[in-house]
Amino acid sequence: MKEKGRPPYYEVIRDPLLRYMVRRLRLLWALEHAANLMSWDLETHMPREGIRDRSAALEEITALMHSIATSSWLREMIEAAQERLEELNDYEKGLVRVVAREVRIATALPEELVRREAKITAEATKVWEVARKRSDFNMFKPYLEQIVEIQREKAERLGYEDHPYDALLDLYEEGLRTRHVEEIFSKLVPATKKVLDEVRRRGFYPERHMLEDKEYDVDKAREMVRRLLGLLRFPLGERGRVDESAHPFTIDMGVYDVRITVRYEGRDFKRFVYSAVHEFGHALYELQQDPRLDQTPLVGGVSLGVHESQSRFWENIVGRGPWFMPELKRLADETIGLTRGVDLLELYRYVNTVRPDVIRVDADEVTYNLHIYLRFTLEKKLIEGSLRVDELPEAWNSLMEELLGVRPRNDAEGVLQDIHWSHGSIGYFPTYTLGNVIAAMIWRSLGGPDAEMLHRLDIPGLQEWLREKIHIWGKTYPPRTLVEKALGAPPTADALVEYLEWKYTRLPDKVEELLNPQR
Ligand code: MG
Number of H helices, E strands in the chain: 22, 3
- Catalytic residue numbers, as ranges: 279
* In the chain, % of residues over pLDDT 70: 99
What is the rounded distance in angstroms from the CA atom of residue 475 to the CA atom of residue 473? 6
Distance 278 CA to ligand 1 centre (A): 7
Between the alpha carbon of residue 37 and those of residues 19, 57, 59, 302, the distances in Å are: 26, 12, 14, 20
Structural contact between residues 18 and 93, judged by C-beta atoms closer than 8 angstroms: no
Q: What's the 280 CA to ligand 1 centre distance in angstroms?
A: 10
Please state, in angstroms and as integers, the Cα–Cα distance from residue 294 to each residue in 10, 29, 251, following that order.
11, 10, 15
Q: Which residues of 305-342 are buried (b: 16+ CB within 10 A; e: fewer)?
A: bbbbbbbbbbbbbbbbbbbbbebbbebbeebbebbeeb
State how far the Cα of 385 lies from the Cα of 381, in Å rounded to an integer: 6
Q: According to the model, what pLDDT value does residue 459 have? A: 98
Q: What is the pLDDT of residues 236-257, one digit of tens each?
A: 999 999 999 989 999 999 999 9
Average confidence (pLDDT) over 116-136:
93
| Residue 518 confidence (pLDDT) above 80 | no
Closest CA to 168 of 142, 186, 148: 148
Quick one: pLDDT at residue 291? Answer: 97
Gap from CA of 438 to ligand 1 centroid (Å) = 13
Ligand 1 centroid to residue 71 C-alpha, Å: 33
Asked whether the beta carbons of 304 and 298 are under 8 A apart, the reply is no
DSSP notation for 75-123: HHHHHHHHTTGGGS-HHHHHHHHHHHHHHHHHHHS-HHHHHHHHHHHHH
CA of 143 to the centre of ligand 1 (A): 26
How far is the centre of ligand 1, averaged over its atoms, from the C-alpha of 179 (Å)?
A: 24
Please give the pLDDT value at position 59. Answer: 87
Whole-number pLDDT of residue 18: 98
Tell me what the pLDDT averaged over the chain comes to.
96
- The pLDDT, as a whole number, for residue 5 is 82
* pLDDT of amino acid 3: 55
Q: How confident is the model at residue 55 (pLDDT cuts 50, 70, 90)?
A: confident
Check residue 519 and give its pLDDT.
Answer: 64
Say what the pLDDT of residue 265 is. 96
User: What spacing in Å lies between the alpha carbon of 161 and ligand 1's midpoint?
Assistant: 29
pLDDT tens profile 408-467: 999 999 999 999 999 999 999 999 999 999 999 999 999 999 999 999 999 999 999 999
Contact 474, 298 (CB under 8 A): yes
Task: For each of the domains in the chain, give its residue range(s) and CATH number, in order of start.
Answer: 109-519 (1.10.1370.30)
Q: What's the pLDDT tens digit per position in 375-409?
A: 999 999 999 999 999 999 999 999 999 999 999 99
* Distance (Å) from CA 279 to ligand 1 centroid: 6
Does pLDDT of 2 surpass 80? no
The confidence band for 115, taking pLDDT boundaries of 50, 70 and 90, is confident
Residues with CB under 5 A from ligand 1 (ion): 311
Q: Which letter does DSSP use for residue 313 in this model?
A: I
Residue 364: its H or E element: none
* Model confidence band, residue 517 (pLDDT cutoffs 50, 70, 90): confident
Find, among 323, 387, 321, the residue nearest to 518 by Cα: 323
The 8 Å CB, 24+ separation contacts for 400-403 are 400/358, 400/374, 403/189, 403/370, 403/373, 403/374
Whether the pLDDT of residue 1 is over 80: the answer is: no
Is the per-residue pLDDT at 16 higher than 90?
A: yes
What was the pLDDT predicted at 337?
96
What are the residues facing 241 on neighbouring strands? 259
Task: Assign 261 to helix, strand or coil.
Answer: strand
What is the model's pLDDT at position 4?
Answer: 65
